[in-house]
Structures are given as structure tokens and as C-alpha cells.
A and B are shown apart, each in its own frame.
Chain A
Amino acid sequence: MSNAKSSGTAQPVIEVDDVVHSFKGRRALDHVSFQVMPQSLHGFVGPNGAGKTTSLKIICTLLRPQFGVVKVFGHDVVDEQKQVRRKIGFMPDHFSTYRQMTVYEYLDFFAAAYGLSFSQRTRVIDEVLALTDMDGRKNDLISGLSRGMQQRTSLARVLVNDPDLLLLDEPASGLDPRARIELMEILKALRSMGKTIFISSHILSELAELCDSVTIIDRGKVKYSGSMHGLLLTSDEHPAFRLTVSGEADGWTEHLQALAGVLKVEQLEGRPEYRIEFDETRLDTNQLLQGIIGLNIPISAFAEDKRHLNEAFMDLTERGVR
């Protein structure tokens, strides 16, 4: 597998601009806009029926947007379908495999369909089989493979044309924990090779660990699109840190509050933990930590206060049946 070509300018790989799409009068996408930057791993999160698969299908040229513009590597998905298709690999939420074929036949078929020569096919298939750790099963029938193995075969198929952008729709759904972890490892390896990966998933903990950026969509509307770091920060206005103390935690609130630049201190209920919000114009993280050390507080942990992706997701999306 070749490393993805580095882009001289940081032009977005995917540009979704004001896209509207309806099915039988029901608006699936309502003025959706977001961007995905090159060589990033971008999570696409939303409840069931939020519009994730519709967005993915528009991006991968299977569906025409009714309104708005979608560009992939600067090519319009409606007018320049062939150029877009050459640069992307789409893995749908079902396996989409010819189960009567062997793994090798299946990959060889798709490699030939992308116009690769006989020798190129041999080389590329060996590479993708090695990457997905499927070389030992290449002569097995796909119908006889486990779910995780079928998912890997599907991923290997996506990689045969060496796409710069991978669009993965719920790749980890239905996989056991081991298969899921192994899949995530493969995705990390692909990112390190410079591929841009756009991944739609429900498994938030893994996305939080894996993704650089994220788009949250709910009921056809984008609720958040940006860096994962930005999403997980609890406060938009001031940075906050979490201090864990060892031993008794009582009585430190007033001392911490007295530090210069500290705006707010709250003790987390029932735990020896404090959340400290400070004014970054008057104080930086170093100074804050030095101040705390100066108070002789028995520090157990000191870390940036981040919420879990689950919390962010729940805050941004609405309750109710879709």
C-alpha cells in the first residue's frame, strides 16, 4: 500500500455545503455542512435515523443531493462521479461480499474491476491481505468466515484500489470486542499511512480515542463539527482542570479559590476531586499547577477537564423516537 499523497495546501478532502435531502417528504438532511481535512480520522456520529447513511451515500456518489454541493478532493460528486470514485473506498454497513467466492477471488475481482493489471493485482492483494491479517484465510470461502473476518475481507476490498479516502459506515457493528479492537488497530495503521478516514459509528468510546475530528448529526441537522478535543472540553469560555487529591479532601476549596486567576472551584460530589476553572489571560497551566503545589496539597492526579464523548453526544442530541 502506498502512502497517501501529501497535499501541499490543506484543502478539505470532503466539503459538504448546505445539503438538503428528503425521502417521501421527510427531510433526512436539513442544510448540512461540514468539512473533513486531509489525513484525519473523522468520526460521524448520530442517533439512528439522524442522516448518517444518507450523508455517506451522497459523499460516495450513490445518491444525488437534492440541494447543496458536495465535493470530494475538489471534485463535485454529481458532475465528476468517476474522478471521485477512483479516489474513495466505501464500506457499507452490511458486508456486501460475494459469499460464494474465496477471499482471494473476491479481492482479485474488485482489483480487476478497478482496472489493475495482472501483476499489480497480485502485489496489491498480497499487501491488503497482509495489512488485514487475512493472508492465512485467502483460499477460504467468504460464506465460511466469521463476522469479524468478513468485515476484514470487506475492508481489504475497499483498499484494493489504494483510495486516499475511506468511507466506513458502522464498520464495528456486530463485531465481538477482539474483532473490534483489531479493526481499530487496522484503522490506526491506515491513518499512519496517510489515508483520510471518515467513519460513522455508534461506539463512542472508540471514536473518542481514535478520531481527530468529529461531526455530530441529529434529525438531519449538524449539531457539532470540529476537533474532538474541542468537543470534549466542558467549557467554551475558560479552560478547566481536574485535580484529584489523595487522602481527605475537605477544606481545600477555599485555598484553591484564593489562587490568583482562579475563577471557580467546585468539589465533585462524594469524591476527593476538584474542578478548577481559571482565566487563561492571567494564568497558564504551569502557573496554576505551581500554585497548587505551593499549597502543599497531596496531589494524586491533575488533568484537563474533559467530558466523555457520551456526555457530549447526549447534550447535543435530542431525546425521542426518530
Chain B
Amino acid sequence: MFHGLLALLTRSLRQDARQLRNHVFRLCFVGFIYLSLLFASITAGMYGAPGLQFFKSIALLNEIFITCAGIGFFASAITEEKEEETLGLLIMAGLNPLGILLGKSTSRLIQASMLLIVQFPFMLLAVTLGGVTPHQILAAYVALLAFMALLANVALVFSTICERGGSAAGLTTLLLVLYATTPSFAPALTAELTRVGFPQSTWYGQPLFRLLEWSAESSVYWRIHWRIMETGFNEPIISTQVVTNFVGGLICFCIAWLVFIPSTGKANSGGVSRGLVLKSTSRMRLFSPGRSWAMPLAWKDFQFIAGGYSFAVIKVFAYALLLVATVYVNYTWGGNGLQWGDIGKSYVLLLLAAIGIEACILAARIFHDEVRLQTLSSLLMLPRSIPYLAYTKALGCLLGLLPSIICLCLGTLLLPGVDVSIAMETLIDPFTWGIILGVTIFLHLVALLSLFVKWGALPLAIFVMAPISLCCPVWQLLFLVVGRGAVRDSMGALAATVTVWILMSLVCFVFQMMIAARLQELGSK
């Protein structure tokens, strides 16, 4: 009985032990810890508690690592089998759903946990640097392990339900955002419920308030940064966050087990979905892709990667709802009536975040879908150059961003309280361009990585960029130069902006050359 149950798990663990790249990755991780330790030791004189600084940076790195693993590594556990159309073969081989879930997801959880466990002895060195106790370190690692267990199993549920890895990753991200923001809005919601006189002592009031209290304490980000990192931390290691996260993980695993047969028993479309794009024979043919444009690649990517007309309309409605929600939140919790300036800024920031997320998803799919569907060779056979193919594809994706950009412009221009002149100044600020540079590099990196990995280019890019952004002195140096230029005078600002432009062009050029070379290589494979 156990042979079938554990067959996949044993195989995955053996494979992990045999693959050199996994060990190299762990070694790099330890190497990074060593570098951070060295950095903390060198800068010991500058900070009060170098051990705590070192511990904070590693904890942050681990949070990023687990978050990325959740979105990429764990969310693809079952969907990758669906996309490869091999899930049926596993079932045919006599593996039961529990065996598949254990083999595909639990093995990944063990692999990722190994990365945390391997760090632990090194982290104890932080104690000798000063500012942190072994109790704090142990508490942080237990909290991280609990978080990882929760995230892995949440991702497993979505991986079981969804047809595509991208959808599973998207839903996991959505839930992760909710998880991360709960500590912020749960107390506010509690306060609001108390204010409006919601009965606390009733049979339904008590569990609701208890649930809100738990939600506020269940976030690992809150637990580590607001509790464990505090001087004199002396709480028990097994906290509400650890219990709720582990229990949540277990519940999610059970849900995945329960929904496995109903979700995977459906006709397999090989991970290919048309999404919201309607067929021209449907009643609402207005939202169908229609005939191809004169720029067919732009048409294809707008319709089938960016979601097409129907998704554009949905986005416009969603952003209108977001505006209503922003106004409502400001009115309810703002205190001093409607503050249009604050509403405008919040709305613009939210839209910028939405555009950023959308652009990242599109960058991850723009070339990867061609590789996945094995259509790259057919595209490269067209009498067009690779840059033409790539740029027209990018144009299609940009068209998909158009509703968001229009809403952003309208939000900036039309909302009372948002100063247009400030918006214009922001546009020519070298800092703005510095941020655009960062985003551009990131998007290129995502697109490039998507040509090398089967799944998880986006989280991998975050994982690559995060340490660079946090630790790479080049980045800080750039902002220092840009900042100095900006504050000195207008010519300085212009010079700084031009420097950023040149740098951006250079970096984009290098990335685009790498992408073109990789496309050619994959097309000829």
C-alpha cells in the first residue's frame, strides 16, 4: 500500500539528491548568507546591532524566497503534469491522488525546507555578532517553516483546480496579497465593526472577532518584523501564526485531496485555454477576435495573451470599481470627509501597481507561450526578422495594457486634487526614470528567464532581482548619482536623466540581443 503512496515522493527526493543544480543553488544560498555575514562584520562599527541587521536581511531574503517558491515552484506541482498531459499516465500507473499529491507537492516542500534548515547553523553566528538571541532565530525559522507549509498547500489547491500553471500562480499571488495585507485591515475592520455597534458578545459576534484577531496575527511578515525582531522578544516559539499556518496548510492539503478527482477528471485541454476570448460564432461576436490585423502578431498577442476585447472591457469596469472602493475607503476611514488629493494619489498608486503586475505577467507569457505550444519554429519560418516578430508581439501586449494606462491617465488628469503640474514634474524627474529603468530591466529579465525555465520565470526573476536590489551597491550608487544630479540644478537633473536613458538603452539592448539569440536557438531545436 505504502509503495504506491510513496513511490513518487521517493523518486522526487532521489532526483533532487542527484541533480547537481539543486546542490549548487543551495550552495549559492549559503554563499549569499556568508557574504551577508561578511558585510555585517565589516560594517559592525556602523550599526548598533550587526547580528540583528544580518538576521533581518536573511529573514527578508527567506521571505522573498518562500513567496517566490509559492508562486512558481509550488503552484506548478500538479499543473505541470496537466500541461504535459502526463497526469493521466500517473493515475494509470496506479498512483492514487494522495500519492500524487505527496509526491508532487510534499517533495517540493521538503526540498524548500532543506534550504531553510541548511541555513540555521550559519544563522547562529548572528548571535556572536550581537543584537539577537538564539530564541529569536529559532522562532523566526519556525515561523518561516509554518508559512512555507501554508503557502505550499494553498498553491497545491490552486494547482489541482487550475488547468494552467499561470492561473494557479495568479490565484496563489492573489491569496498571498490578502494574507500579507490582512494584519493591516483586520484591526481597522474590528475597529469599524465596534464603531458601528456590531454585537461582540453574541454567538456569531464572538467567533467573528476572534477570527479577525487570528487573521491579524497569522501573517509571517507581521510576526517576524513586528514581534520577533523586537528587542527583548520572549514569546513562545509556537505562536498563533505558527499554529494557524500549519493548520491552514493541513486543511488546504485535505481540500486538494478532496478536489483532486473532480478537478482532474475533466477533459484535458493540455493546459491550453482561450480564456475570455469568445468565438466569432458566439452570440456576442463583438468580443470575438475577428479577423487578423495587418500586424498579425500584435493581433494574436493582444487577443490570446493579453485577453482581448472582453478582458479589456472587464478591466475598465474593474478599475472603475477600484475607484469607487478607493473613494469609499477614504470616506469611511479618512476622518475628514472626502480628500480628493489622497483619493487621487491612492488610485494612481494602485493603478501603477496593477499595471506593473499585468506587465510582469505579460512578459512572462509573451515568448514562453510560443515555446510551450511549440510554435516558435513556425514563427521563425515567416519571412520576417526576429526583432520584427518580438516587437510586434510586444506591441500586442502593450495594447492589452492600454485600458489600464487610459484609466491611469484619466485618474491623474480628471480627479480633483491631483496636480497635473506635479504629474508632469514627476515624468521628467530622474528618480522616476530610475524606477522605470528598474522595471524595464525586470521585465526584460522575466522575458529572458521564461525562455530558459519551464515555469516560474516571474518568481525566479523576483528572486534574482531582490538580492541585487537589496545588496548591489551599483543600484544604490546609481540612485545616489541621480539624486545628486536632481537636487543640484535643472541641468544636473537633465544630465542625470540622460545618464539613466543611456543606461536603460544599453541594458535593454543587451537583454534584447540575448532574447533574440535564445529565440533563434529554441526555434532551431
Say yes or no for A102: interface residue by CB 8 A criterion.
Answer: yes
Question: Chain A nearest CB: distance from B362 CB in Å?
Answer: 16
Q: Once the chains bind, are B373 and A97 in contact (CB under 8 Å)?
A: yes
Say yes or no for B380: interface residue by CB 8 A criterion.
Answer: yes
> B375 touches which one: A82, A85, A97 (CB < 8 A)?
A97
A side interface size, CB within 8 A: 37
Q: Once the chains bind, are B292 and A111 in contact (CB under 8 Å)?
A: yes
Q: Can you list, as one digit per residue, whether each of B345-378 has a CB less than 8 Å from chain A (1) or not (0)?
A: 0000000000000000000000000000111011
Say yes or no for B289: interface residue by CB 8 A criterion.
Answer: yes
Q: Which residue of B lies closest to A91 (CB)?
A: B378
Which residues of A lie under 8 Å from residue B292 when comparing CB positions? 105, 108-109, 111-113, 121
Q: Once the chains bind, are A95 and B524 in contact (CB under 8 Å)?
A: no
Indicate whether A98 sits within 8 Å of B375 (C-beta atoms), given known contacts A60-B381, A112-B296, A114-B383: yes
Indicate whether A62 sits within 8 Å of B373 (C-beta atoms), given known contacts A100-B272, A101-B304, A108-B292: no
CA of A90 to CA of B378 in the docked complex: distance in angstroms? 8
Q: Once the chains bind, are A100 and B381 in contact (CB under 8 Å)?
A: no
Say yes or no for A310: interface residue by CB 8 A criterion.
Answer: no
Which residues of B lie under 8 Å from residue A97 when comparing CB positions? 373, 375
Which residues of A lie under 8 Å from residue B380 when comparing CB positions? 62
Say yes or no for A35: interface residue by CB 8 A criterion.
Answer: no
Secondary structure at chain A's binding surface: helix, strand, loop or mixed?
mixed
Which residues of A lie under 8 Å from residue B280 when comparing CB positions? 102, 104-105, 139
Which residues of A lie under 8 Å from residue B275 when comparing CB positions? 100
Question: How many residue pairs bridge A and B at CB < 8 Å?
Answer: 88
Say yes or no for A137: interface residue by CB 8 A criterion.
Answer: no
Identify which of residues 243-272 in chain B touch chain A, using a CB-to-CB cut-off of 8 Å.
269-270, 272
Question: Chain A nearest CB: distance from B524 CB in Å?
Answer: 4
Question: Chain A nearest CB: distance from B514 CB in Å?
Answer: 18
Identify which of residues 62-95 in chain A touch chain B, using a CB-to-CB cut-off of 8 Å.
62-63, 81-82, 85-86, 88, 90, 92, 94-95
Indicate whether A98 sits within 8 Å of B269 (C-beta atoms), given known contacts A62-B381, A109-B292, A157-B378: no
Q: Which residue of A lies closest to B295 (CB)?
A: A112
Q: Once the chains bind, are A86 and B383 in contact (CB under 8 Å)?
A: yes
Which residues of A lie under 8 Å from residue B294 when comparing CB positions? 112
Which residues of A lie under 8 Å from residue B375 when comparing CB positions? 96-98
> B377 touches which one: A62, A108, A114, A121 (CB < 8 A)?
A62
Say yes or no for B274: interface residue by CB 8 A criterion.
Answer: yes
Say yes or no for B523: interface residue by CB 8 A criterion.
Answer: yes
B side interface size, CB within 8 A: 33
Indicate whether A96 sits within 8 Å of B272 (C-beta atoms), given known contacts A109-B296, A112-B292: no
CA of A86 to CA of B273 in the docked complex: distance in angstroms? 31
CA of A63 to CA of B520 in the docked complex: distance in angstroms? 9
Identify which of residues 281-319 in chain B touch chain A, using a CB-to-CB cut-off of 8 Å.
281, 289, 291-294, 296-297, 299-300, 304
Say yes or no for A131: interface residue by CB 8 A criterion.
Answer: no
Which residues of B lie under 8 Å from residue A109 when comparing CB positions? 292, 296, 299-300
Q: Once the chains bind, are B291 and A113 in contact (CB under 8 Å)?
A: no
Which residues of A lie under 8 Å from residue B281 when comparing CB positions? 139
> A62 touches which one: B269, B383, B523 (CB < 8 A)?
B523
CA of A101 to CA of B304 in the docked complex: distance in angstroms? 8
Which residues of A lie under 8 Å from residue B523 when comparing CB positions? 62
Question: Chain A nearest CB: distance from B516 CB in Å?
Answer: 14
Which residues of B lie under 8 Å from residue A82 when comparing CB positions? 383
Identify which of residues 126-156 in chain A touch chain B, using a CB-to-CB cut-off of 8 Å.
139, 141, 143
Q: Once the chains bind, are B378 and A96 in contact (CB under 8 Å)?
A: yes
Indicate whether A113 sits within 8 Å of B384 (C-beta atoms), given known contacts A98-B300, A100-B272: yes
Question: Chain B nearest CB: distance from A192 CB in Å?
Answer: 25
Question: Chain A nearest CB: distance from B151 CB in Å?
Answer: 30
Which residues of A lie under 8 Å from residue B272 when comparing CB positions? 99-100, 143
Question: Chain A nearest CB: distance from B156 CB in Å?
Answer: 26
CA of A140 to CA of B384 in the docked complex: distance in angstroms? 29
Question: Chain B nearest CB: distance from A97 CB in Å?
Answer: 7
CA of A118 to CA of B293 in the docked complex: distance in angstroms? 9
> B373 touches which one: A90, A98, A141 (CB < 8 A)?
A98
CA of A108 to CA of B297 in the docked complex: distance in angstroms? 11
Q: Which 4 A-B pairs have the closest CB atoms?
A: A112-B296, A112-B292, A85-B383, A99-B272
- Chain B positions near chain A (C-beta within 8 angstroms): 269-270, 272-275, 277, 279-281, 289, 291-294, 296-297, 299-300, 304, 373-375, 377-384, 523-524
A98-B373, A157-B378 given. 10 additional CB < 8 A pairs?
A: A60-B381, A88-B381, A92-B378, A100-B275, A100-B304, A109-B299, A112-B296, A113-B292, A113-B297, A113-B384
